[in-house]
C-alpha cells in the first residue's frame, strides 16, 4: 500500500461577527423559476457550464434556503478557487426562498420523491448534462433519491447530515426539547443543533433562529417539514464486493458523507454509510463541529471537497493548492471511488465511527500525482474510510 502523507487542513477563519452575522448575500448570480411536473422551482446559478465538466448542484435542509445553507461555504476563498472551474446551481425547495409567497389553502406540497423528480427539469432547461450534488439534511435525502432514480445524471454526491431511513424526526426532536414550546422554529432548531450547541454557540444560534423565524415563510416551512418527516426509506443496501454490486439498490456514484462530531445526525449518517458501497464511499466526521459543518467549518469542508473532486479525476490548480492542475482524466486512469486517497483508516465496515484528536487528514499518494498510476492496484479492495479532522 502506498505511503501515507499528512495534509494540513486550511486554517479556519472566524465565521460570524456582529457586523455581518446575517450576511447570506449572493454574488454574480442569475435566478430562474423553472416549471417542473410537480410545480415551480426557484434556482440560482453562479457561472456558466464549462465544457463537459459537471455542474455543482446544491439542495438545502429544512428551515434554510440556499443562501443561509450554502453561501458561507461558497463565498469562502478556498471554495471559490475550486468553483472557479465549475458552474454552481443552488436549488430552493418550493416556497423556501426569500420573499416566497404563501401557498394557497389546500395546496398539496410535493413529497420527497416528487421533489427529487423535479430536478431533471432543472438540468434540461439549464442544459446541464451531469452534476456533482451537495445536499444537507432533507436536501441530502432528495439528492440521494435523485441519484438512485437517475444515476447517469450524477457524477458524485456530498451528503451532509443525510438520513436514509423513513423515521420521522419531528416526534424525536420534540421529545428532546426541555423547557421549550414545540413550535416549528424550536423543532427545526433541534433538528440542526445539539443541546450543547443550543446553549453554548449563542451567536450562531441567534443568527439561525432569527433567520428561520423571520426570513422563511412559516406556513411554507411547515409543509416542507411535513414532507420530510413523511419520507420513505431509501431502501439502499450495501453490496457485497464482487458478488452483487450490479443488482442491489445503492448509490453507484462516489459519495462523501459528512457530519459534525456533535451533530444530532451522527447516528443517521453512520447508518447510511453502513448501507452504501464501501468502494465508493467516504465518511468524514468533523471535529469541533455540530449540525452545520458547511457554516461552522467551511475551510475544512472546502479542503475535503477538493480531495473529493480530485478523486473523481478533476484536479484544481490554485494558490491554495499549488501542486495540483485542473483537468479531467479518463476513467481508465482514475479510480471511481471518490476521495479514495483521503483517509486515516481503511475498513471493510463503517457502521461505527471513532473520534481522533487531530487537525490533520491523511492522504494516500494519488495515481494522479504519481507516475505510472501505481495506486490503482488497491481498487478491488473495500475503500470505505472513516476520517476525522
Identify the helix (H) or strand (E) that includes residue 306.
helix 298-311
Amino acid 319: pLDDT: 54
Residue of higher predicted confidence among 333 and 51: 51
pLDDT at 224 exceeding the cut of 80 = yes
Average pLDDT score over residue span 71-79: 94
Residue of higher predicted confidence among 160 and 357: 160
Amino acid 210: pLDDT: 96
Rounded distance, CA 142 to CA 298, Å?
Answer: 22
Q: Strand order of the sheet with strand 385-388?
A: 29-36, 39-46, 88-92, 55-59, 131-136, 154-160, 255-260, 281-286, 385-388, 345-346
Whole-number percent of the chain with pLDDT over 90? 60
> Where residue 12 falls among pLDDT bands split at 50, 70, 90?
very low
Amino acid 376: pLDDT: 30
Whole-number percent of the chain with pLDDT over 70? 69
Average pLDDT score over residue span 46-56: 90
Amino acid 169: pLDDT: 52
Rounded distance, CA 61 to CA 138, Å?
Answer: 5
Q: What is the pLDDT of residues 96-114, one digit of tens each?
A: 999 999 999 999 999 999 9
Residue 201 and residue 292 in contact, taking contact as beta carbons nearer than 8 Å: no
Q: What is the pLDDT of residues 255-275, one digit of tens each?
A: 999 999 999 999 999 999 999
pLDDT at 386 exceeding the cut of 80 = no
Q: What is the pTM of this model?
A: 0.78
pLDDT at 13 exceeding the cut of 80 = no
Q: What single string gives the DSSP state of each residue in 92-151?
A: EPTT-STTPPPPPTT--PPPHHHHHHTHHHHHHHTT---EEEEEETHHHHHHHHHHHH-G
Report the mean per-residue pLDDT for the chain: 78
Amino acid at each position: 500500500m502506498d505511503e501515507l502523507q499528512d495534509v494540513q487542513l486550511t486554517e479556519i477563519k472566524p465565521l460570524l461577527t456582529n457586523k455581518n452575522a446575517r450576511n447570506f448575500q449572493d454574488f454574480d448570480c442569475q435566478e430562474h423559476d423553472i416549471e417542473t411536473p410537480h410545480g415551480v422551482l426557484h434556482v440560482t446559478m453562479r457561472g456558466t457550464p464549462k465544457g463537459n465538466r459537471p455542474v455543482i448542484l446544491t439542495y438545502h435542509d429544512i428551515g434554510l434556503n440556499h443562501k443561509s445553507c450554502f453561501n458561507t461555504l461558497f463565498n469562502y476563498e478556498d471554495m471559490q478557487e475550486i468553483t472557479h472551474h465549475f458552474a454552481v446551481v443552488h436549488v430552493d425547495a418550493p416556497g423556501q426562498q426569500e420573499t416566497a409567497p404563501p401557498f394557497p389553502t389546500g395546496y398539496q406540497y410535493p413529497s420527497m420523491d416528487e421533489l427529487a423528480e423535479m430536478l431533471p427539469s432543472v438540468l434540461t432547461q439549464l442544459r446541464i448534462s451531469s452534476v456533482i450534488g451537495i445536499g444537507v439534511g432533507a436536501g441530502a435525502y432528495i439528492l440521494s433519491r435523485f441519484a438512485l432514480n437517475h444515476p447517469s445524471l450524477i457524477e458524485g454526491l456530498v451528503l451532509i447530515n443525510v438520513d436514509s431511513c423513513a423515521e420521522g424526526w419531528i416526534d424525536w426532536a420534540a421529545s428532546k426539547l426541555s423547557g421549550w414550546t414545540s413550535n416549528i422554529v424550536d423543532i427545526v432548531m433541534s433538528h440542526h443543533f445539539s443541546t450543547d450547541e443550543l446553549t453554548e454557540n449563542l451567536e450562531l444560534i441567534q443568527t439561525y433562529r432569527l433567520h428561520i423565524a423571520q426570513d422563511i415563510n412559516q406556513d411554507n416551512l411547515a409543509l416542507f417539514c411535513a414532507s420530510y418527516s413523511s419520507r420513505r426509506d431509501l431502501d439502499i443496501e450495501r453490496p457485497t464486493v464482487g458478488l452483487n454490486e450490479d443488482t442491489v439498490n445503492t448509490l453507484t456514484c462516489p459519495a462523501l458523507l459528512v457530519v459534525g462530531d456533535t451533530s444530532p445526525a451522527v447516528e443517521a449518517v453512520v447508518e447510511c454509510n453502513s448501507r452504501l458501497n464501501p468502494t465508493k464511499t467516504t465518511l468524514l466526521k468533523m471535529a469541533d463541529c455540530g449540525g452545520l459543518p458547511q457554516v461552522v467549518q467551511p475551510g475544512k469542508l472546502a479542503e475535503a471537497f477538493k480531495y473529493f473532486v480530485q478523486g473523481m479525476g478533476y484536479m484544481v490548480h490554485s494558490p491554495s493548492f499549488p501542486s495540483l492542475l485542473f483537468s479531467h482524466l479518463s476513467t481508465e486512469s482514475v479510480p471511481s471511488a471518490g476521495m479514495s486517497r483521503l483517509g486515516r483508516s481503511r475498513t471493510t465496515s463503517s457502521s461505527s465511527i471513532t473520534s481522533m484528536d487531530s487537525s490533520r487528514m491523511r492522504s494516500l499518494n494519488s495515481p494522479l500525482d504519481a507516475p505510472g498510476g501505481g495506486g490503482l492496484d488497491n481498487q478491488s479492495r473495500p475503500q470505505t474510510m472513516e476520517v476525522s479532522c
